[in-house]
Structure 1
Amino acid sequence: MNKQEIYDYLKERNIWYEITEHKAVYNMEEISEIDIPYPEGDGKNLFIRDDKKKNYYLITVKGNRRVDLKKFRAKHNTRPLSFASESELRDIMDLIPGAVTPFGLLNDKELKVQFYLDKEFMKNSHIIGVHPNDNTATVWLKVEDLINIIKEHGNEINIVEI
């Protein structure tokens, strides 16, 4: 799915969302330069894999949080972890670096990627901001709606403390 297809998908399902169009951003530092309506809901996404390239994980945390992959590995009993390559990102989720997002899971036809969502998103406003498979916009929606979209698609979802 591309950006417009994501918007159409949300509209067809009557899911509340807002869009913030912006310049292309490639990291959290660049997004901090943009005026966004829900800064507490901004998501940071990491696409990682194990050392055997058999298990893939998308980790989504609040934008100001850091992810310690060694602690994540120990807590979730995985093999050694590293960032997935640009070609793996393209092949599995049809995304480019800087545009990693849970919506990319909708392009994961083989359901290879396990989704790990930081339970911090379940507190307060319950709003999350993620790219619509393109890093020139952020879509704001209820985190529960995002979880339901991914569940419906079939990827494994884990809501955990990261």
Structure 2
Amino acid sequence: MPKTEAELYAFLADLGISVSTVRHPPLFTVADSQALRGEIPGGHTKNLFLKDKKDNFFLVTVGEEAVVDLKQIHHLIGAAGRVSFGKPEMLMELLGVIPGAVTVFGLINDTAGRVKVVLDQELMSHDVINGHPLTNEATTTIAAADLVRFVEATGHDAVILKVSLS
């Protein structure tokens, strides 16, 4: 059973990480997000749930405006050949979220450590990062350093690489 938004906040609180959350209508795309979220400072995320031909899974988190070359990214992230988008069933199984709500916070549900996370270097240059708290009906703001602490606390390596072309 995937963790709830409340369980995510409790996990963050247990780590001593404070976040702020803004509620809004469901957001499914970056365009929706830009139109409906209001003024929330910091880096806003776009998340790519990818898999390679050997069923290795990757969560690549970049800035909302970032351009990513999906034909070449496998060289950067250590995938076995070209990548494609992971199926919604695997997204739910591994990260506990639905398409449109993909988020780095979903790593709390990947207790087996099957997903390799890659945080874009440009995104991580922001003081604060914004992502969905397991639902696309809210945006949670977290300090960039605390995001790295969260990722590591879920048992994942916080790999920071330049994956965006912008």
TM-score, normalized by length of structure 2? 0.89
1:33 aligns to what SS in structure 2? helix
Q: Deviations over 1:127-160 (max 9, x none)?
A: 1001111110010010111111111221132101
Which amino acid counterpart does residue 36 of structure 1 have in structure 2?
Answer: E
Aligned ranges for residues 54-133 of structure 1 at < 5 Å? 55-78=56-79, 79-123=81-125, 125-133=126-134
Number of residues paired by the alignment? 159
**In the alignment, is the contact (CA less than 8 A) between 1:121 and 1:127 conserved in 2?**
no
RMSD: 1.4
- Output the amino acid matched with 1:65: A
Asked if the contact 2:72/2:82 (under 8 Å) is kept, the reply is no
Tell me the residue number matched to 1:158: 159
Which residue of structure 2 lines up, in the alignment, with residue 140 of structure 1?
141
Structure 1 counterpart of 2:150: 149
Structure 1 portions without partners, runs of 5+: none
Percent identity over paired residues: 31
Instruction: Decide whether the 8 Å contact of 1:46 with 1:58 is kept in 2.
Output: yes
Q: Which runs of 5+ in 2 are unaligned?
A: none
Structure 1 residue aligned with 2:14, among 8, 12, 15? 12
**Which residue of the partner structure matches residue 46 of structure 2?**
44
AA partner of residue 153 (structure 2) = E
The letter for the 2-side match of 1:112 is R
Change (3 A) 1:75 1:9: closer
Is the deviation greater in 70-79 or in 109-118?
A: 70-79
Return the TM-score normalized by structure 1: 0.92
Q: Deviations over 1:85-133 (max 9, x none)?
A: 000001111111111111111100210000000111332x421001111
Instruction: Report if the CA contact (8 A) 1:22-1:137 is conserved.
Output: yes
- Asked whether the equivalents of residues 77 and 118 of structure 2 are also in contact (C-alpha less than 8 Å), the reply is no
Q: Cα deviation per residue 1:33-60 (whole Å; 9 max; x = unaligned)? A: 121321x41011110000232x100000
Check whether the contact 1:57–1:114 (CA below 8 A) recurs between aligned residues: yes
What is the alpha-carbon distance in structure 2 between the residues aligned to residue 122 and residue 93 of structure 1?
21
Comparing 137-146 with 8-17, greater Cα deviation is found at 8-17
